[in-house]
Amino acid sequence: MEGRVLVPVANGTEEMEAVTIIDLLRRAGIAVLVAGESPMVVCSRGVRIVPDVLLEEIPEEEEFAAVVLPGGTRGTEALLQNTHLARILQAQHRRRAYIGAICAAPTILAAHGLLEPDTPVTSHPSVAEQLRAYLYRTEPVVRAGHILTSRGAGTAIAFALELIRLLVGDDAAAEVARQIVLS
């Protein structure tokens, strides 16, 4: 599948997750659009990210190959409250295009009704209880159709490589793993 990937970021986003996803997808030749809640986003550990565009500038019905949500407690809370992002996610879900969420961000999918009761899902352990209505797993990366979830900063590379595999194939994922000397 070709097309752009949207990575929304908000103040409090977990920087390791956001940057890992953005970097590895771009290494694979995937166009990534970073959309922020503000012109500069201050992440959970003080790292500053200058988004490509403001999230509000993204047309709600724009088609993306994937929308991928990094976690971080405060960032997740901010993205959860963003009604514009909710509409983008709903449109993505209706198209059955890929939606990824890592760390606390799978709670956004649950809150917006994007998960069915029989959906396998994972997350950071701190929000696991909020996802017990689903088929909760503890694997590093869990795929359920067009939904991909992951546990946290420590699983961000595996998560990004799985996104690459889904979007552009096994060879591209293997090449990026080779480039970053993933053993």
> Which of 84, 93, 103, 112 is the catalytic position?
103
21: burial class by Cβ within 10 Å (0-12, 13-18, 19+)?
A: buried
User: What are the residues whose beta carbons fall under 8 Å from the beta carbon of 6, sequence distance 6 or more?
Assistant: 32, 33, 35, 58, 62, 64, 66, 67, 68, 88
* 103 in catalytic set: yes
CA 52 to CA 116: how far, in whole Å?
A: 33
> Which of 43, 84, 93, 124 is the catalytic position?
124
Are 120 and 145 spatial neighbours (Cβ–Cβ below 8 Å)?
no
Catalytic residues: 103, 124
